[in-house]
Chain A
C-alpha cells in the first residue's frame, strides 16, 4: 500500500471513528463492529489501525475515555465524543462532503 493511500485511509478512519462514537460511548471492539455493520461489510477496520487511532484521538482530546464494565461484564475502556470532538467531526464531515463532491464531478463530468 502506498504512503498516499495509507495517509488517506488514516484520515478517513478518524472521521469514521468520530462519527460512530457520536452515536454513543463505545469500546474499541464495538466501534470496529459498528463501522463494519454500517458499511455493510465493505469497511473492515484493522485492529492495528483502530487502536492507535483511538489513542491518537484521545491525546488530541477529541475523544474522552473512561474505564467501565462492558455488556459482557468485562472491564473495558469506553470512548465518547468530547465537545471539541463534536466540532472536529462537523469540520471533517464538511471536508469529506466537499471532497466526495469534487471527486464525483471528476468521475462523472457529464452530470456536473
Chain B
C-alpha cells in the first residue's frame, strides 16, 4: 500500500482500516524486537514479552495517536460527517436529475396533447365540410348492405356481398361493390339505376364485422 502521506483525503478515508492495520503491525514489530532483546538477557519469553509491553507504555494510545496523524484526524465522527455530507450532495443531485426528468416528461405529454388537439380540430373541420373520414368504409366480401331508395321503395333490399364482390340489385342484376367505399357504391348505384328510373335517391348502409 502506498504511504498514507501520498494519499488524498478521500483515499485516506477509504483506507482507514488498512492504515490501522499497518500502524499495529509497526508497533507489534517493535514489541517483538524488544522482547527478543530481553530474552537474550536471560528472561523467559513470557516475562520478556510482559516487560517489553510494560516499557512500551500505553499501546492503544500510541496507536491512536499514530492513526490520527496518518488519517489527518479522521475519527469516526469525521467519517460520519463526511458520509452525511456525501449523502446530502447525492440527494441534491438526484432531486435535480428527477426534476429535469419530470419536466421532460411534462413537455412530452404537453406535446402529445397539442398533437391530439390539432388532430381533433382537423377531424372536426373535415366533418363540418362533409368529408368525415370515419364514414369512408370500404365494402368487403361478406358485408351486408342495406339499399334504401325513398323515391323508389321497390329497390329497397338487404344483400350480402357475394364472394365475387357483387350484390343482386332489382332491375340492375349483379352489381360489383366490393372495394368501393360506401359513398362510391352509392354514386355508382345511383348512376346505374338512373337509366331505369326518372329519379333515384339511393342510400347505402354497410354492416360489416368491424363496424358492427
Contacts and interface: CB of A to CB of B under 8 A. Distances in A.
A72 B26 contact: no
A61 B4 CA distance: 11
Contacts of B34: 29
Interface stretch (B57-65, B76-84, B168-176, B192-200): B57-65
Given A55-B70, A61-B5, A48 B62 contact: yes
Looking at chain B's contact residues, is the secondary structure mostly helix, strand, loop, or mixed? helix
A51 B34 CA distance: 15
Contact of A65 (B3, B29, B32): B3
Interface residues of A, number: 24
Contacts, number: 68
Interface in B43-96: 55-58, 61-62, 65-66, 69-70
A29 B58 CA distance: 16
Contacts of B22: 67, 77
B62 A77 contact: no
A70 B26 CA distance: 12
Looking at chain A's contact residues, is the secondary structure mostly helix, strand, loop, or mixed? mixed
Interface of B: 3-5, 22-23, 25-27, 29-30, 32-34, 36, 55-58, 61-62, 65-66, 69-70
Closest 7 CB pairs between A and B?
Answer: A55-B69, A29-B33, A52-B65, A48-B57, A77-B26, A29-B30, A55-B66
